[in-house]
Amino acid sequence: MTEKKIFNLIFKISKASKTDVYVVGGYVRDQILKKELSKDIDFVVLGSGLEFAKLFDKEMKEEGSLVEFPEFDTARYVLDDFDIEFAGARSEKYDKKSRKPEVSPASLETDLSRRDFTVNAMARKVLSKGLGKVVDPYDGKSDIKNKLLKTPLDPDITFFDDPLRMMRAVRFASQLDFTIDKNVLESIERNAKRLKIISAERIKEELFKILATNKPSIGLWLLHGTKLLDQFLPEASDLAGVEEVKGYTHKDNLSHTFAVVDNIAEQTDKVLLRFAGLLHDIAKPQTKKFVSGRGWTFDMHEHLGKKMVYDISKRLKLSKDEGKYVGKLVRWHLQPIALMDDGITDSPVRRLVVNLQGELNDLLILCRGDITTGNQNKKVKRLKNYDMLEKRIAEVLEKDKLREFQSPLRGEEIMKLCGLKPGPVVGIIKKEIERAILDGEIPNEYEEAKKYFEKIKKKYVDRV
C-alpha cells in the first residue's frame, strides 16, 4: 500500500459518505518544512472518526489492523509501515489530576486549537487530486518561517491539559532547531511540577526522542533550565555547579555530561548508549570530596553510579536488560583510563574483555565521548591512547580466544573428576581456573586448564 493509494481511498470514502476529512499535524508541518514525511499520519473527520475508520477498514478488506477508542471517537489503523489515526473533530476538557479528557464534537478550528503547537495546528482537506490549501487559523506557517514554537491557546491551558506537551516542546526545539517562545518557556517553568501526573513510560519515551536528536544537549539544557529534568531525573540536575576550596575548583559536571552525550551522538545512533552517557557520572555529587594534596576527588563514583542506575531504570520503567546494560557501562567507564595509566598489559585487558563481553565496543565509544577537554593536544593524545588500547584488545582477543570466555573445564567434568555434588566449591574451582587464565599463568586451552585443575583440586576438595 502506498501513501497515494491511502489518500485516494480516504477521498473515495469521504465523497461516498459526504464527510469532509483533513490531514493534520506533523504531516502538514513537514510538508511545509520539505522534510521527509512520516508514515504516522493523523486525519480529522468532520463527523465520527470511529465510524469513518470502520468504513476505511471495510474498503481495505480488513487487510490492516483496526484499534478502536470509542470513548474518544478515535481509531488507529496499522498497515505495513503506516500508522494512521482517524479522529472526529472535537473539543477536550481535562480534570486537574488526570490527562484523560472528556471529549465532545466541535468545529475544525476548535479541534486545531487543542493541538500542542501552532506548527502542528494546520490542516489540509483530502481532495480528489491531492490536498487542499493549508487551513492555518493560528499562524503556524509564520512560526515555521521564524523557527518559533508557540501554542495555539494560552500556554498555561495547553500544558495544564496535557503536561507531556512541555517535553514535546523541548523535543521539537531540539529536533527542528526551533526556539521556544518566551511566554511558552516561562509557562513550562510554572507548570513543570504537573509533569508528575504523566506516566514514567511516556516521559521515558520523550526523553529518548530528545536523546535521539542530532545534538541532544539542546534539549537537555532546556529540560534543565525549565526544571522539567528535576521532575523525573533530579540526580542529573544535582550535577550542576562548581565549588571552590583553597583556590581549587572542579569542572561543572552537568556541562561535562551534556557534552559527553553530544560526543556519543556523533559516534552512534544507539539511544541507550547516549542515555548511559547521561548517567555515567551520576554519582559524582554523592562522592565529591576535597582532599588536601589531591584536590577534588570523586572516588568510587562508578560503583555508586551503578547502584543509582538501578533505581533510575526502575523509576523510568526501563527493561531489566536495558538497566543492566546501562549499569554495566557506568560501572566500567573508568577502567580503560586506568589501563592506559598503568600501561596496557595483557592481564587487565583480558579482565576488561571478560567483564564487558558484548558491551566492550559501546564502552569504548562512551570512553571516547568522555573526552571533553578544550586542550586539543591533550585530546589528541587521549584519543591515540584509545586507538592503542583497541589494537591491544584485538590482539588479546585473537590470541586468547576470549570473546565468550569461561573456564575451558566445565562444572560437570569437575564434579566427575572429584566425585563432587553440585555446590559452591565447583564454582570456586571454575573461578580459580578463570583467574589463572586472565592473569596469564596458563593459556586459555582445555589441556592446560585440566593440568592446572589437577594441581589445585586437593586444596578445594579437602574442604568438602
What is the CATH code for 147-232? Answer: 1.10.110.30
Please report the pLDDT score of residue 400 as a whole number: 58
E strand or H helix that includes residue 428? helix 424-438
Please report the pLDDT score of residue 97 as a whole number: 66
In the 3-class helix/strand/coil scheme, how is 69-83 assigned residue by residue?
Answer: EHHHCEEEEEECCEE
In the predicted model, what is the mean pLDDT of residues 326-351? 82
Beta-bridge mates of residue 374: none
Q: Is residue 208 within 8 Å of residue 275, measured between CB atoms?
A: yes
Cite the residue boundaries of each domain of the chain with CATH code 1.10.3210.
252-400
Residues across the chain: 464
Please report the pLDDT score of residue 245 as a whole number: 82
DSSP string, 384-419: HHHHHHHHHHHHHHHHH--TT---SS-HHHHHHHHT
Beta-bridge mates of residue 105: 90
- As a whole number of angstroms, the distance between CA 73 and CA 445 comes to 67
Is the pLDDT at 193 greater than 90? The verdict is yes
Cite the residue boundaries of each domain of the chain with CATH code 3.30.460.10.
1-143
Angle 167-171-177 from CA coordinates, rounded to 5°:
140
Please report the pLDDT score of residue 336 as a whole number: 87
In the predicted model, what is the mean pLDDT of residues 435-453? 81
Please report the pLDDT score of residue 220 as a whole number: 98
In the predicted model, what is the mean pLDDT of residues 245-273? 93
Is the pLDDT at 342 greater than 70? The verdict is no
- β-pairing, 289-291 vs 295-297, is antiparallel
CATH architecture, domain 252-400: Orthogonal Bundle (1.10)
Cell of 347: 592481564
Please report the pLDDT score of residue 87 as a whole number: 96
What is the band of 404 on the pLDDT scale with cuts at 50, 70, 90?
Answer: low
In tens, the pLDDT along 56-115 reads: 999 998 788 999 999 999 999 999 899 999 999 998 877 766 667 778 889 999 999 999
Q: Is residue 60 within 8 Å of residue 75, measured between CB atoms?
A: no
430's CB contacts (< 8 A; 6+ apart) are 406, 407, 409, 411, 414
Cite the residue boundaries of each domain of the chain with CATH code 1.10.110.30.
147-232
Domain range 1-143, its CATH number among 3.40.50.1220, 2.60.40.1660, 3.10.20.30, 3.30.460.10? 3.30.460.10
Q: What counts of helices (H) and strands (E) characterise the chain?
A: 24, 15
Give the max Cα distance, the chain: 89
In the predicted model, what is the mean pLDDT of residues 393-398? 75
- β-pairing, 123-127 vs 21-24, is antiparallel
What is the band of 444 on the pLDDT scale with cuts at 50, 70, 90?
Answer: confident
In tens, the pLDDT along 111-160 reads: 999 999 999 999 999 999 899 999 999 999 999 999 999 999 999 999 99
How would you label 30-51 residue by residue, b for 16+ Cβ within 10 Å and e otherwise?
eeeeeeeeeeebbbbbbbbbbb
Indicate the SS3 state at residue 296.
strand
Is the pLDDT at 409 greater than 90? The verdict is no
Q: What average pLDDT is seen over the chain?
A: 90
Amino acid at 114: R
In the predicted model, what is the mean pLDDT of residues 434-457? 81
